[in-house]
Amino acid sequence: MTKTFTGPDARRPALPASPSRRRRRPAAPRGRFLTAFAFVLPALVLFVLLVLAPILIAAYLSLYRWNGVGPPTNFIGLDNYLRAFRHQIFLGDLRNLLIIVALSLLVQLPISLGLALLLNRKIRGRAFYRVMFFAPYVISEAITAVLFSLILSPESGMANQLLSAFGMEGWPWLSDPDTVMISLFLVITWKYFGFHMIIYMAGLQGIPKELTEAASIDGANPWNVFRHVTLPLLAPTIRISVFLSVIGAIQLFDLVWILTGGGPSHASETLAVTMYDYGFRRTQIGYASAISVLMFLLALVFALGYQRTVMRRDVQGALTTMGGGR
């Protein structure tokens, strides 16, 4: 028996679904690519003009003996690079770089870590101490250099006056090749230790307190808590701090140029100071360009090697976290 339908819908034929009810298709891959490219384009243009183009120009000029007047025509190939590795001043710059890096890793960063551990505790006035220790980093390099050139003056500087008040002989500080690097490192430490202290404090505040409290309840003394709980969890922050310290040492210029000018007798000269001296004072643009390319390659090799070896686990952990959150 066939069932008969009556009513207003009985004679209405079935209509296809309206376009508005159809499921919308996702945008085409080409459209998504053009949209992403439009957002990235301004940053890409700035990167090409301000980073990539100067590197390529410096690499091109480093192949010429050029004084900056007229177009470069005296092509000498890699002679500027060979000259750099035979130049005693350039080799001295590399030695000074190693001294600054070694002292930073052995003295400056441990001091910063110790202060961060101290100020991470609940002590009276810790907000004031944080601001006071971080304040030197806010001061510009030029002001810092002028300030310490007055403090470390061998004749009338405040440092020698304090030594004389305690019955001690004054130091030559910045005027002696044997003491200039130590004096320069003291200024660098005063300027940048607050920056690394803030980095360590940020890392310490990311460590759950439950872990340290559980270790203390289990009978671990403060040293064991720091060694087996705090330090391993703070290791990624320490690796970033070391990376920034080394890269900053390669690029060091302002403090040295204003404080010592690279002297006395090139004893405190850095790679950036030598590049500036030969490029803008002696107008040996080709040789200065070669030094700048070597600085870039040194920083690039260190950055890639450091990320590949030391920071490899941190990068993989970040990518794993991002992939797991999808």
Task: Tell me: cis bond preceding 16? Omega within 30 of 0 counts.
Answer: no
CATH, domain 88-311, list 3.40.50.2300, 1.10.3720.10, 3.40.190.290, 3.40.640.10: 1.10.3720.10
* Under 8 Å between Cβ of 149 and 157: no
* pLDDT values of the chain reduced to their tens digit, one per residue, 326 residues: 445 545 555 455 555 555 555 555 555 577 788 888 899 999 999 999 999 999 999 999 999 999 988 899 999 999 999 999 999 999 999 999 999 999 999 999 999 999 999 998 888 888 899 999 999 999 999 999 999 999 998 887 899 898 888 888 888 999 899 999 999 999 999 999 999 999 999 999 988 888 888 888 888 888 888 888 899 999 999 999 999 999 999 999 999 999 999 989 999 999 999 999 999 999 999 999 999 999 999 999 999 999 888 877 666 654 444 455 44
One-letter amino acid of 86: R
Give me the pLDDT at residue 319, please. 46
Give me the pLDDT at residue 104, please. 94
**What SS3 state is found at 130?**
helix
Task: Tell me: cis bond preceding 264? Omega within 30 of 0 counts.
Answer: yes
How far, in Å, CA of 119 to CA of 256, rounded?
Answer: 31
Tokens of 183: 């004096």
Distances (CA, A) of 113 to 21, 106, 121, 212: 62, 11, 13, 17
Of 190, 209, 204, nearest in space to 136 by CA:
190
How far, in Å, CA of 270 to CA of 291, rounded?
Answer: 11
pTM equals: 0.82
Q: Which residues pair with 268 in a beta bridge?
A: none
Tokens of 118: 């101290």
Burial zone of 263 (CB within 10 Å; 0-12 exposed, 13-18 middle, 19+ buried): middle
Of 240, 252, 268, nearest in space to 152 by CA:
268
Give me the pLDDT at residue 322, please. 45
pLDDT tens profile 254-266: 999 999 999 899 9
How far, in Å, CA of 117 to CA of 201, rounded?
Answer: 7
Per-domain residue ranges for the chain? 88-311
Q: What angle do CA 114, 116, 119 make, to 5 degrees?
A: 110
Distances (CA, A) of 299 to 21, 64, 69: 58, 23, 30
Q: Is 173 left (phi over 0), alpha (psi -120 to 50) or beta?
A: left
* Under 8 Å between Cβ of 254 and 145: yes
* Under 8 Å between Cβ of 275 and 283: no
How far, in Å, CA of 25 to CA of 28, rounded?
Answer: 9
